Chains A and B, each alone.
Chain A
Amino acid sequence: MSASDGVAARAVDVWKTYGSGDAAVTALAGVSVDLEKSRFTAIMGPSGSGKSTLMHCLAGLDDVTRGEVWVGDTKVTGLKDRGLTDLRRDKVGFIFQQFNLLPTLTAEENITLPLSIGGKKVDREWFDVVIETVGLRDRLSHRPTQLSGGQQQRVACARALVSRPEVVFADEPTGNLDSQSGAEVLAFLRKSAHEFGQTIVMVTHDPNAASYADRVIFLKDGHIVRELLSPTADEVLDTMKHLDAPDFEHSAVPGA
């Protein structure tokens, strides 16, 4: 089986268990999900719901206990370190909550880092498009310490996009930003999906952030329990409230 056309990443009955015996904790309990191309998907859920674990497994940062993960045509499950590394380099882009820029490199060098690590040439045209979109043209020669938090995160976004990966994973990208900068980053992510066809998967617990997404998947206790398409912030907030209710049933998962 492979990720068929229209699907950028796919999880098939993925289980993830930490520890063993009585101390075993199940983070993911049989999650299956298709993440369509060119869409902006948000994964939501309370703390400990398994949303970060799911992202890490999809991105090849963590291995699964059972089940299969695909990114594009590549079966991630079973890859060794070298294969996983190359997958992350060539097919996946990352945006972290902590920006995680290299302080020794300029903004431009940070953006092109994934390409230079792989010894690839920078597609100048695309680079310019990305730079214009994030609005960093006049900041390219600055070091990260000379940039504001919002600017740093925009550099991180540009870094994730510049290699045109199969999927960009964003882990709480607005968690460390003020609302103004956060809104800019989210708008940029949505624009990348809609105008450039970039698949984006974002993990967040902020309903407002999730409202920028085309599709929101809700996780609880390692299960996908609900999903919404193009919701408003209020809808998301409402669903979250329901999730927190103790009597919420797992069986209510649509399409599970």
Chain B
Amino acid sequence: MLKATIKSLLSRKLRLVLSALAVVLGVMFVSGSFVLTDTLQRSFTDLFSSAYADVDVSVSPKQEKGKQPEPLTAQAVEDVKSVPGVASAVGNVQGSARAIGKNGKVITTSGAPRFGANWTGNGQEKIRDGRAPQADDEVILGAYLATTGGFKVGDEVSVLTLEPKKTFKVTGVYDYAGGRESLGGELSMAFTEPVAQQLLLGQKDAYSSITATAAQGTSDEALRDAVAAKLGSAYDVKTGETLAKEQADQINEGLKFFNYVLLGFAGIALFVGVFIILNTFSIIVAQRTRELALLRSMGASRGQVISSVVLEALVIGLIASVVGLGAGVGVGALLATIFSSFGGTNLELAGIGVPMTAVISSFAVGMIVTVVAAVMPALRASRIAPVAAMREAATPDRPLTKITVTGALVLAAGGTALGLGFAQASLPLIFGGILVALVGVALLTPVLAKPMVSLIGRLLSWSMPGLLGRRNSSRNPRRTAITAAALMVGISLITGVSVVLTSATKSIEKLASGQLRTDLIISGEGQFDGQPATFQREVLTQVEKTDGVSAAFGWASDGVLQGDDRMFAAAVTDVPAMKSMFALQPKDGEIAPLRDDQIALPEDLATEKGWSVGSTVTLQLAKGEPRTFTVAFVWLKSQVLQGALVLPESAASSFRSNQIGQAFVQVDQGVAAADVQKRVEPLFADNPEITVQDRSAFVKQTTSQFDTVLLMIQILLALAILIAVLGVINTLALSVIERTRELGLLRAIGMRRAQVMRMITVESVVISVFGAVLGLLVGLALGVATVQALKDQGISEIGFPWATMVQYLVVAAVVGVVAAILPAIRAARLNVLDAIAYE
């Protein structure tokens, strides 16, 4: 039996390749994700251990919940120095510093930090050119920053720190051991110590951390304990090794999430792969019915027939897993290289390794998926009575009742899970519900196939080849349905996401045009490496005084703690201006300027917290001791400032930063906003990260991030769609083999090669478009359900991405044409005589 199975496998190389390809792609994605994240993790671990190579012990202020740590004092540095066993101790100053490039734009990275420090001269930094900064207006640049910005010794460079733009003279450039420009793509610079303290910490004689090296004969651990004993409990004292590990772990935590996302998409790809393999095996088994029946009639048991098919699946799964793993290592390595060089991170890659998880998951996933997909057709094959199968491989239309009822039940189960998932905000339930619902729809597709296919086909069947193609595609509803369902999965997910994003865009637009009565919006661009850019309170005062401005207000924002609850708080400069520009309506109390011990909040937050006007609330701000406030007013639910506490302006001084993050301007009646914009913009000349926009530009900017999200999801889901295309090719190729004799007849009675190709193409396009239409419908349903569930989160409108949906439909049609190319050529090239004699 084993021999017969292997022989039958080898004699069908094409089928083998086609059915294995789907598994290969899925496994490739899985192992590629693991290889990529493993490589990056080891690279970051290397990065931090080299960053802290010279640090034996590091002292930093103890982090207290919700509070900004007090910087270390000069006294603490002296204290550390006096500890026996300390060879040297240095106070380090570090804080956000962004250089402005020669084009006037702030130089950015795609994730790596941008910071300034004090030049200590005894770190790992080696001066490559020039000298260290000595005067207050001098700076030394990291080599990577110098290269990126094109700065040389003697150039001037403008820098944004806690303070607005300041210009420095570049006195030197430093790099690291081996001439490395940066450790991990960071953009760094160093000032003299007093300048660094003022610009980066905003405080004289303050330090972010202290690093100490141990004297000969003192171990790092002993030194750590000695330093800790000397300084007392207000400090965190760690060895350099621990610190490196902690920081690497922090990044790796993020990478883990990244890995989960990739694996999620790999899961979707494999999910689609299951459809394809299931279909391939169904067709192969159907075509082999006679062969299997022959084996049965010669005494093979049902179990042997099943195990023959399952064995075939195991062999395919094994080969596909090996190939997929190999390809995954390649893809992972390629992505890691792209990440390290093009991402602007300039990360030194650790060697590409193949983690055990990649190997295990590849084989587990590849083999299990293939076998699961093969078992059903195998069971069906074993049930066929040998004589019936030998007579004629007739596969009468089996009734679709059972599958339809099952589909409806599964769909209902998926819908329920989805509903529960939304209600409990449980991500696993939501995703599980979506997948189960998709399976349900997939089971329903055979019933839908006939009417929908004939409808779609009518558009394409103006000629005989077209008519035949259409009829062929509705010939085996199960086969067409599964093939189309594979395409449906990817398209429905993309469509669902599109609906949600379009709805979010529409909601924002509506909010902007309805509730925002502001003409100009001043905001900072978001940054990867910290808080959004801010500007000084005085600039806002100047904006208020600008000609044509009728009112302006802004806020500084920060997180505040109430017990263990973290909330978003805005210290608003002008409450009446906010009231009128945001059209706030009082629910309780009067919307009036807040006293220093008063706060205000929206209706839903008040309900959630059980607070009302007059309630006293104790809040821990970033600086200082907890403070008690009284609720002054509650405003009616509104789309703006959702879930936010409004604090008096004076509270901003206890925030991490008291600078303004966002401001809104109303212009005088009859004055053009554009004119005022021109007068306001120059006020921000020293704040190049701040933009002044009119309402529509602001909306555009806010919603443009959705396009990025959509693009990324499209790229990731492209794999699922690619696998679905393979499925279409697969089905067509197998159908061509199955219908060899028909094709021979058509050629014999005068159908031209081009007509044969057209017939196959129509069949392919019909299947693809059917899949796309299903996907669009299911995607719309998913999207609408999600939007409904997010109604309270600010997505108040439902928007449909019609243009995008039409695009998907067109793409599906093109996909159909492309998928038909190879099978069509194969069909057209058939030898007429051989084909007509084909069994």
Q: Write out the residue numbers on chain A whose beta carbons fall within 8 Å of the beta carbon of B752.
A: 82, 85-86, 117
Q: Which of A103, A105, A119, A159 is within 8 Å of B749, CB to CB?
A: A159
Please tell me if the beta carbons of A102 and B742 are within 8 angstroms of each other in the complex: yes
Q: Decide if A73 is an interface residue (CB 8 Å cutoff).
A: no
- Find out whether the CB atom of A89 lies under 8 angstroms from the CB atom of B749: yes
Would A113 and B475 count as touching, CB distance under 8 A? no
- Are B750 and A85 in contact (CB-based, < 8 A)? yes
Shortest Cβ distance from residue B763 to the other chain A in the assembled complex, whole angstroms: 11
Known A62-B833, A100-B745; contact A114-B750, beta-carbon cutoff 8 A = yes
In the complex, whether B741 has a CB less than 8 A from a CB of chain A is: yes
Whether A102 and B749, one on each chain, are in contact in the complex, defined by CB atoms closer than 8 angstroms, is no
The complex places the Cα of A90 from the Cα of B750 at a distance, in Å, of 7
Contact with A along B442-481 (1 / 0, CB 8 A): 0000000000000000000001110110011001000000
Q: A98 and B750: CB pair below 8 A?
A: no
A119 to B752, CA, bound (A): 12
Query: Across the interface, do B471 and A113 meet the contact criterion of CB distance under 8 Å?
Result: no
Q: In the bound complex, do residue A88 and residue B750 qualify as a contact, i.e. CB atoms below 8 Å apart?
A: yes
A104 in contact (CB, < 8 A): yes
How many residues from B make CB contacts under 8 Å with A? 24
Report the minimum CB–CB distance from A93 to chain B (whole Å).
Answer: 8
Contact call A104/B748, Cβ cutoff below 8 A: no
B656 sits at the interface (CB 8 A): no
Expressed in whole angstroms, the Cα–Cα distance for A239 and B464 within the complex equals 46
Bound Cα distance A93, B745 (Å): 11
Among B714-749, those with CB < 8 Å from A are 741-742, 744-749
Query: How many angstroms between the C-alpha atoms of A195 and B432 in the bound complex?
Result: 72
Q: Which chain B residues border A116 with CB–CB below 8 Å?
A: 463-464, 467
Is residue B836 within 8 Å, beta carbon to beta carbon, of the partner chain? yes
B653 contacts which chain A residues (CB < 8 A)?
none
CB atoms of B753 and A85 under 8 A apart: yes
Residue from B472, B741, B749, B753 with most neighbouring chain A CB atoms (10 Å) = B749
| Chain B positions 135-177 with a Cβ under 8 Å from a chain A Cβ | none
Indicate the member of A62, A86, A96 with the most B CB atoms within 10 Å: A96
Q: Which of B794-839 contact A (CB under 8 A)?
A: 832-833, 836
Partner of B472, one of A104, A117, A119: A104
B750 touches A61 (CB 8 A): no
Residue with the highest number of chain A CB atoms closer than 10 Å, among B748, B751, B753, B755: B748
A139 at the interface (CB under 8 A from B): no
A117 and B751 contact, Cβ closer than 8 Å, known pairs A96-B836, A100-B836: yes
Closest approach, in angstroms, between the C-beta of B664 and any C-beta of chain A?
A: 67
Q: Is A56 an interface residue (CB 8 A)?
A: yes
A218 in contact (CB, < 8 A) = no
Closest Cβ neighbor of A86 among chain B residues = B750
Say yes or no for A178: interface residue by CB 8 A criterion: no
Q: Map CB proximity to A onto B748-766 as digits: 1 under 8 Å, 0 otherwise.
A: 1111110100000000000
Q: Is B468 in contact with A104, judged by CB distance below 8 angstroms?
A: yes
Complex alpha-carbon distance, A62 and B475, angstroms:
31
Using A98-B741, A116-B464 as known contacts, say yes or no to A104 and B751 having CB atoms under 8 A apart: no
Smallest CB gap from A56: residue in B = B833
User: Which residues in window 86-122 of A have CB below 8 A to B?
Assistant: 86-90, 92-94, 96, 98, 100, 102-105, 113-114, 116-119
The minimal Cβ–Cβ distance linking A253 to chain B, given in whole angstroms, is 27
How distant is the Cα of A248 from the Cα of B311 in the complex, in angstroms?
57
A125 within 8 A of B: no
Q: Decide if A94 touches B748 in the complex (CB within 8 Å).
A: yes
A105 to B742, CA, bound (A): 12
Residues of A within 8 A of B472 (CB): 104
Let me know if B833 and A117 touch, CB within 8 A: no
With beta carbons under 8 angstroms apart, the residue of A56, A61, A81, A100 that contacts B741 is A100
In the bound complex, residues from chain B placing their C-beta under 8 Å from that of A81 are 753
Q: What is the CB-to-nearest-CB distance from A103 to chain B, in angstroms, rounded to a whole number?
A: 8
Given contacts A96-B836, A104-B468, contact A117 B741 (CB under 8 A): no
Would you give the shortest CB distance from A232 to chain B, in whole angstroms?
A: 32
Q: Shortest distance in angstroms between B619's beta carbon and chain A's nearest beta carbon? A: 74
* CA gap between A66 and B209 in the complex, in Å: 97
Q: Which residues of A contact B464 (CB under 8 A)?
A: 113, 116-117, 119
Q: Closest chain A residue to B832 by CB distance?
A: A61
Question: Measured between alpha carbons, how far is A92 from B753 in the docked complex, in Å?
Answer: 18
Least CB separation from B473: chain A residue: A104
- Indicate the member of A81, A92, A104 with the most B CB atoms within 10 Å: A104
CA distance A69 to B471 in the complex (A): 37
In Å, the complex CA distance between A52 and B741 comes to 18
* Contact assessment for B833 and A61 in the assembled complex, using a CB-CB cutoff below 8 Å: yes
Q: Is the CB of B748 within 8 A of A61?
A: yes
The answer to whether A104 and B750 touch across the interface, beta carbons within 8 angstroms, is no
Known: A62-B833, A100-B741. Is A94-B749 also a contact (CB below 8 A)? Answer: yes
A62-B833, A100-B741, A104-B472 known; A119+B463 contact, CB < 8 A: yes
Report whether A117 and B748 are in contact in the complex, using a CB–CB cutoff of 8 Å.
no
* Bound CA span A118–B750, Å: 8
- List residues of chain B with CB within 8 A of the CB of A100: 741-742, 744-745, 836
Mark each residue of chain B from 240 to 257: 1 if its CB lies under 8 Å from any CB of chain A, else 0.
000000000000000000
Name the residue on A nearest B752 (C-beta): A85
Q: Which residues of B lie under 8 Å from residue A103 when comparing CB positions?
A: 475, 742
Measured in the bound complex, the distance between the Cα atoms of B747 and A93 in whole Å is 12
Which partner residue on chain B sits nearest A112 by CB separation?
A: B464
State in angstroms the CA–CA spacing of A87 and B832 once bound together: 14
B475 touching A104 by the CB < 8 A rule?
A: yes
Nearest Cβ on chain A to B830's Cβ, whole angstroms: 12
User: How far in angstroms is the closest Cβ of chain A from B696?
Assistant: 55
Given A89-B750, A117-B751, A105 and B471 contact (CB-CB distance below 8 Å): yes
Residues of B within 8 A of A92 (CB): 750
Choose among B749, B750, B752 the residue with the greatest number of A CB atoms under 10 Å from its CB: B750
What is the minimal beta-carbon distance from B465 to any residue of chain A, in angstroms?
A: 8
A159 to B745, CA, bound (A): 12
Write out the residue numbers on chain B whose beta carbons fall within 8 Å of the beta carbon of A61. Answer: 748, 832-833
Shortest CB-to-CB span from B725 to chain A, Å, is: 25
B464 to chain A: closest residue by CB: A116
Q: Which residues of B contact A82 (CB under 8 A)?
A: 752-753
Q: How far is the CB of A246 from chain B (nearest CB, A)?
A: 30
**Which listed residue, B467, B749, B753, touches A88 by the CB 8 Å rule?**
B749
Chain A contacts of B755 at CB under 8 A?
117
Residue contact A117 to B749, C-beta cutoff 8 Å: yes
A 59-90 to B, binary, CB cutoff 8 A, 1 in contact else 0: 00110000000000000000001100111111
**Nearest opposing residue in chain B for A119, CB measure:** B463
Give the CA-CA distance A85 to B832 in the complex, in Å: 10
A53 closest partner in B (C-beta): B833
Contact of B833 with A113 in the complex, beta carbons under 8 Å: no
Closest Cβ of chain A: how far from B761's Cβ, in Å?
16
Q: How far is the CA of A159 from the CA of B746 in the complex (A)?
A: 12
Q: Residues of B contacting A114 with CB < 8 Å?
A: 749-750
Contact (Cβ within 8 A) A88 B471: no
Most chain A CB within 10 A, of B465, B475, B833, is at B833
Contacts of B832 in A (CB 8 A): 61
Shortest CB distance A89–B (Å): 2
Distance A90 CA – B472 CA, assembled complex (angstroms):
25
In the complex, the answer to whether A113 meets B748 with C-beta atoms within 8 Å is no
Chain A residue, CB-CB nearest to B828: A81
Inter-chain contact A117/B475, CB cutoff 8 Å: no
A96 pairs with B750, CB closer than 8 A: no
Cα A213 to Cα B264 with chains together (Å)? 72
Q: What are 16 A-B contacts defined by CB distance under 8 Å?
A: A62-B833, A85-B750, A85-B751, A89-B750, A90-B750, A93-B749, A96-B836, A104-B471, A104-B475, A113-B464, A113-B746, A117-B749, A117-B751, A117-B755, A119-B464, A159-B749
List 20 extra interface pairs beyond A88-B748, A88-B749, A113-B464, CB under 8 A.
A82-B753, A85-B750, A85-B753, A87-B750, A89-B751, A94-B749, A96-B836, A98-B741, A100-B742, A100-B744, A102-B746, A104-B468, A104-B471, A105-B468, A114-B749, A116-B467, A117-B465, A117-B749, A117-B750, A117-B752
For the complex of A and B, list the 10 residue pairs with the smallest distance between their C-beta atoms, beginning with the closest.
A89-B750, A104-B471, A116-B464, A100-B745, A88-B750, A114-B749, A117-B751, A85-B752, A117-B464, A61-B833
